Amino acid sequence: MTKYFSIFFAAAASLILASCGQGDVLYVNKVVINLSPVDGNPSSGYLEIHGGRTDVSLVGVTSDDVRRLEMHQTKEENGLSVMEPVKAVKIPAGETVKFEPGGKHLMVWGVGGGSIAQGKLKMIFIFSNDERIEFDALVRKMGDPEPETETE
Ligand SMILES: [Cu+2]
């Protein structure tokens, strides 16, 4: 009887460990807002989203300390680079989706002075499964050093 139970608990423990591994958890990383050098122009935001166990979509990004925030996609059209707002970005299970120059990006209008002074902006990422992830984005002025590349 005792033996039976110890095997059961060992199996349960390894299940718990397996479910905590990275790659199973939806998370947001490396969020950077590059402030526009021109007053009144939108700043651009880049980030990485790591998919969890199931496919979801990023359906919104908000912050209390901005005037307006949009998700955009840059694409080629007749040899010109144009961008358009997107409502949702698919985050497939287990895959990493990057917002980067020339592709998907955030456009941010009116970042508050307090966040600029602190060098960080609290943002909330809203997903189609109703999950909300809060992340302090790094706010960079033009000429600030590149953010350190972190290993995961
Ligand atoms: Cu844009």
Q: What is the pLDDT of residues 44-78, one digit of tens each?
A: 999 999 999 999 999 999 999 999 999 999 998 89
DSSP state, residue 103: S
- pLDDT of the residue at 142: 84
What is the CA(122)–ligand 1 centre distance, in A? 20
Instruction: Set out the domains of the chain in order of their start, with CATH numbers.
Output: 23-140 (2.60.40.1890)
What is the CA(100)–ligand 1 centre distance, in A? 11
Q: What is the largest CA-CA distance in the chain?
A: 74
What is the CA(60)–ligand 1 centre distance, in A? 15
Residue 74 exposed, middle or buried by CB count within 10 Å (0-12, 13-18, 19+): middle
Place 123 in a pLDDT band, splitting at 50, 70 and 90.
very high
What is the CA(150)–ligand 1 centre distance, in A? 26
Q: Rounded to an integer, what distance in angstroms lies between the CA atom of residue 86 and that of residue 81?
A: 16
What is the CA(20)–ligand 1 centre distance, in A? 35
Section 117-142 average pLDDT: 97
Beta bridge partners of 123: 135
What is the CA(139)–ligand 1 centre distance, in A? 17
What is the CA(16)–ligand 1 centre distance, in A? 41
Single-letter residue type at 15 = L
State both tokens at 35. 């402030």
3-state secondary structure of 128: coil
What is the CA(40)–ligand 1 centre distance, in A? 14
Average pLDDT, the chain: 87
Owner of token pair 């021109």: 38
Q: Is the pLDDT of residue 21 over 60?
A: no
